[in-house]
Amino acid sequence: MVLKLALGIVEYLGTMENELRRLPSVDRVISEERIRQLREIYPHSLVVDLVRQRLEEDRLAITHGSTCPSLDEIVDSICSRLQTLAQSSLRPVINASGVILHTNLGRAPLSREATTAMELVAAGYCNLEFDLDSGARGSRNVHIEQLLCQLTGAEAALIVNNNASAVLLTLTALAKRKEVIVSRGQAVEIGGGFRIPDVMRQSGAKLVEVGTTNCTYIYDYEQAISPRTAALLRVHASNFRVEGFTHSVTLEEMVALGDKHGLPVFDDLGSGCFLDTTAFGLTPEPMVQQSIALGVGLASFSGDKLVGGPQAGVIVGKKLFVDKLKRHPLARALRIDKIRLAGLVATLVHYLKGEALEKIPVWRMISMPLDDVERRARLWAQALGDLAQVIEGETMIGGGSLPGSTLSTRLVAIGEKGGQRNLAQPLAQRLRHNEPAVIGRISGDVLLLDPRSVLPEENDVVLRALSNAVAGLKQ
């Protein structure tokens, strides 16, 4: 038995040694025609590094029992790897999923004016922190602060790179080593592992939870106030909803209590909104200007959700508090870059001009008449022939905004009929591999495509993608 095992080991080692000898040298691979062509485009050192990496991987695989790949396989792999490195994997897609603010798909698409503004400052220099009148250094915040104050009624404003940063900066600058009171039902996780208690710990502020998950009353806040209290915090339930036996404290009550004890209220709005969502049949979403009118010390919100701009964190409120944030060292680490700043300014100008519904894609989708959605859905279904039908459905807002609130829509359903149940996955895959990719959603064995989350100017692209996908399935 021992002899048989020893012979097996010797045979294995011999086979492995033979396979290792078959592995080509670095010079042999580099001399291949396709590799020589790569060296004419890319630095010699880069190509050599990739060749060495691939051969080292093959050596390791052979020692674990694999056979030596052919020279063509090795060259193919190197060419493919270099092509992957040289091409961005970030690609534009068309969102037919029926989730307007789809976090995985980049949330809010931007208006043409916003993308133009971003391109202008990206292509060259700009007066980001330069005062053209005095010739001295300026502040990037001046390009947007007055605009935000006009839209919200706030005394001052500051922009950082996202709303998580806004909350972190606010608590660090104004509540470090002090207590901040928040309802237990608002000590939430808002997605991606981002938890309010964790952010407060990072800021150095102590979280004091009051009330219960479903019921919090104003006296809960008052009983928790101590000499160490720095602020009262409201966190808007932007991505969940508690129903049934509940009670929450209104912002008016919190501000009144804060005024009584000389404490500011910090309002974390999450999504942030400038328009009345009930006008579109949606549940009420707190509006930024309402929070300011009620007297909060600071309100913070995202720029890339219902505002409809690029990723940003917006802080508006009383000058006393905003000025402290501006002077804090963390503000520099969290500041917004010139490109997103330009896009956000252009987006806010749409609100200033009263043209948000016509210009900002998110609001164009939300306000789109159902008749228009149905007309486009029928065009899409025609491109699929007898494979699809139009059904009633709901569009979600998404992005942590308006939880449980949906818009009526019309969906193109593929696989709804019994004989088509195997079509959903292959068709969805073909649409994802289109250029640009078209993303739907699969429910059970049915592929659903929602025109409401697709801009009308993308309609022809979707129709071509559908026709190509169906043609590919028939081959």
pLDDT tens, per residue, the chain with 475 residues? 555 555 555 555 667 788 888 999 999 999 999 999 998 899 999 999 999 999 999 999 988 888 889 999 999 999 999 988 888 888 999 999 999 999 899 999 999 999 999 999 999 999 999 999 999 999 999 999 999 999 999 999 999 999 989 999 999 999 999 999 998 877 666 555 556 677 777 888 888 888 877 788 888 888 989 999 999 999 887 555 666 667 788 899 999 999 999 999 999 998 889 999 999 999 889 999 999 999 999 999 999 999 999 999 999 999 999 999 999 999 999 999 999 999 999 999 999 999 999 999 999 999 999 999 999 999 999 998 888 999 999 999 987 777 778 999 999 999 865 555 578 889 999 999 999 999 999 988 899 999 999 999 999 999 999 998 888 776 6
CA distance 375 to 381: 10
CA distance 81 to 234: 49
At residue 76, what is the residue type? D
CB 349 within 8 A of CB 151: no
Listed in sequence order, the residues at least 6 apart from 209 whose beta carbon sits closer than 8 Å to its beta carbon are 182, 183, 184, 187
SS3 415: coil
To the question of pTM greater than 0.75 for the whole model, the response is yes
Beta-bridged to residue 189, according to DSSP, are 195
SS3 245: coil
Q: Count CB neighbours of 70 within 10 A.
A: 11
Tokens read off for 396: 């979600």
Q: Can you list the positions of beta strands (E) in 57-122?
A: 93-95, 99-101
Instruction: Give pLDDT, residue 14.
Output: 64
CA distance 311 to 399: 12
The domains found in the chain, sorted by start residue, are: 2-86 (no CATH), 93-100+365-474 (3.90.1150.180), 112-359 (3.40.640.10)
Which residue, among 121, 116, 97, has the nearest Cα to 107 in the 3D structure?
97
SS (H, E, C) 196-256: HHHHHHHHCCEEEEECCCCECCHHHHHHHCCCCEEEEEEECCCCCCCCCCCECCCHHHHHH
Q: Count CB neighbours of 299 within 10 A.
A: 30
Which residue, among 315, 268, 281, has the nearest Cα to 402 in the 3D structure?
281
Rg of the chain on CA atoms, in Å = 29
**Angle ∠(409,411,417) on CA atoms, nearest 5:** 145
- Answer whether the bond into residue 436 is a cis peptide, omega within 30°: yes
Instruction: Give pLDDT, residue 423.
Output: 83
Which residue, among 143, 140, 152, 146, has the nearest Cα to 298 in the 3D structure?
152
CB 171 within 8 A of CB 205: yes
List strands edge to edge, sheet with 388-398: 99-101, 388-398, 401-414, 446-449, 441-443
CA distance 312 to 336: 7
CB 158 within 8 A of CB 330: no
How is residue 337 annotated by DSSP? P
